[in-house]
Chains A and B, each alone.
Chain A
Amino acid sequence: MRFMMIVKATTDSEAGVMPSQELIDAMQKYNEELVKAGVLLAADGLQPSSSAIRISYPEPGGKPKMMDGPFTEAKELIAGYTLIEVKSREEAIEWALRMPDPHGFGQGEIELRQVFEAEDLMENPETLAKETALRMQVQEQKKA
């Protein structure tokens, strides 16, 4: 199962202040650990929201509204993400706990979110019903 560790933005990351060398080194070491454990799928840092664009749909069915950054509420913004593939929710939590404090001055925040798998998204009830029927059939065959 895949999890995304989302690093939230801070006043510094939004102001474009680069993290300290110490933090960069710690993050790099952490990423290496993820790679060596074979769990890292992707990781990126995002530019501050000053270069962002927000597209919203204030009226249902209406035209999209465009808004240029920066956006104010830093805690609501994200500064980067790390995507990992692990065996359990506990393992994901364990990895997230091992990530260094991403900012180091009281604003650091990491959010852990599980990624939907294809089967979670199979919204078609007919497909799901067929699958369930098949699984039951297989089980019946096993018993027989």
Chain B
Amino acid sequence: MSPSEAHRTIETIWRMESAKLIAGLTRMVRDVGLAEDLAQDALVIALERWPETGIPDNPGAWLMTTAKRRAIDFIRRSKLRDQKYEEIGHTVDLYTEDDVDRTLDGEIDDDLLRLIFMTCHPVLSQDARVALTLRLLCGLTTDEIARSFLAAESTVAQRIVRAKRTLSAEKVPFEVPAREELKDRMSAVLEVIYLMFNEGYSATSGDHWTRPLLCQEALRLGRILAEIAPYEPEVHGLVALMEIQASRLKTRVNAKGEPILLMDQNRAKWDQLLIRRGLAALERSRKLGRTLGPYSLQAAISACHAQARSEAETDWIRIAALYEALARSTPSPIVELNRAVAISMAFGPVFGLQIVDELNTEPSLKGYHLLPSVRGDLLAKLGRHDEARTEFERAASMTRNTRERELLLQRAAECGLGTSK
């Protein structure tokens, strides 16, 4: 193995093991920043030694042992310094050297779970949560995170440093939240993962080569979470939602990079493996036997589309019912608008239009181009072409997306000719 090959291999192993290392070390030293430094130290030692000695049989365990030795050294040294002793005194009481060898698989899972609760802690801003999670749990470099978010590397680096400092200053504990807090804290974690996924999925701006990384990382993190928190139905719900949405990743834009609507996508190209995985995850959520939460409901809606072999086979009645359940669990005008579309598909445009008209006065939808766009579509279906044209033109003036505007103006023009479907 050439030195450069060896380095690549070591870096790969590091990426595969770093989250577990940092989690285990945080349990010992109670500070993510310090834990990350200690883990990095172990990497440096590996980079020095492995090219000479060859890669150990169990590289993960080697890195963990080496890093934990550094941690123990650090704790001992700190013990001698009075001012430091105050800070981490409790760590020394709680964790002795014996703990290092007693780390079992189950404990690693628990540590990872505690770490993700920490990086998604509400004391951090949403941006900071996402960046820190990508860095510590997904093992992405600052550069990779920056490119994914089209941000400057220095901005992201700053954000991560500040986030670690905040966690330290606020003395955020390394723990799984107590039961009364768990639901909200788990929602915060799921929100971070879904945000990551959507950032990659929607690709509202930027070059699409770096974006899929975010989708993949979100999906991978979701899959990991499903194993370390299997009792949580919404975790499976979110995984199901992401798997099914990811199954359409490759069919959602055409060769010109324009978005293709769900109904116009080539279903033969949907990734059946991911759909099956999504359906299985949804089943896991259902089997836990609690009322379906918002992620599970959205996954169930996605599953309806995934299971329909053609647009005509779509079970719109079921989708409308699921949207109604979603509107009850998380009421929002956007969900209402989607429900209107489902109702119109299931029972006719007249019924959809009734809901949309009620939304017309909704202040939060003012300036939201999809409202007039949907309204225009329903009016056109009812043959009210003049009104439809006005709505499409209004929607076109509201969107910032050039391609979408072109599409809307085209529909407006079709209404003028009275040829709209």
Contacts and interface: CB of A to CB of B under 8 A. Distances in A.
Contacts of A83: 273
B269 A118 contact: yes
A130 B269 CA distance: 20
B224 A130 contact: no
* Interface band, chain A: 20 to 34
Interface string A120-134: 000000010011001
Interface of A: 35-39, 41-42, 83, 85, 87-88, 90-91, 93-94, 118, 127, 130-131, 134-135, 138-139
The 6 closest A-B pairs by CB, nearest first: A38-B223, A38-B220, A90-B12, A38-B224, A118-B250, A127-B255
Given A134-B257, A135-B207, A39 B12 contact: no
A36 B109 contact: yes
Given A41-B277, A91-B15, A138 B224 contact: no
B16 interface: yes
11 contacts: A38-B224, A42-B273, A88-B12, A90-B8, A90-B9, A90-B12, A93-B9, A127-B255, A131-B255, A134-B256, A135-B207
Between A85, A87, A131, the greatest number of chain B beta carbons within 10 A of the residue's beta carbon is seen for: A87
A100 B34 CA distance: 35
B228 interface: yes
B207 A94 contact: no
A36 B9 contact: no
Given A41-B277, A118-B269, A94 B9 contact: yes
- Secondary structure of the A contact surface, majority rule: helix
A100 to B, nearest CB: 12
Interface in B85-137: 109
A37 B224 contact: yes
A136 B340 CA distance: 40
Interface in B242-257: 250, 255-257
Interface of B: 8-9, 11-13, 15-16, 109, 207, 216, 219-224, 227-228, 250, 255-257, 269, 273, 277
A3 to B, nearest CB: 13
A4 to B, nearest CB: 12
Contacts of B12: 88, 90-91, 94
Chain B's interface: helix, strand, loop or mixed, by majority? helix
Given A90-B8, A90-B12, A94-B16, A41 B273 contact: yes
Contacts of B256: 130, 134
B273 A94 contact: no
B224 A36 contact: yes
A85 B243 CA distance: 13
A130 B255 contact: yes
Given A127-B255, A134-B256, A39 B220 contact: yes
A39 B222 CA distance: 11
A131 B13 CA distance: 35
Given A85-B216, A91-B16, A135-B207, A36 B255 contact: no
Contacts of A91: 12, 15-16
A35 B223 CA distance: 8
B246 to A, nearest CB: 10
B175 to A, nearest CB: 21
B208 to A, nearest CB: 9
Nearest to B251: A118
Nearest to A138: B207
Contacts of A37: 16, 220, 224
A15 to B, nearest CB: 31
Contacts of B255: 127, 130-131, 134
Contacts of B277: 41
Contacts of B9: 90, 93-94
A138 to B, nearest CB: 6
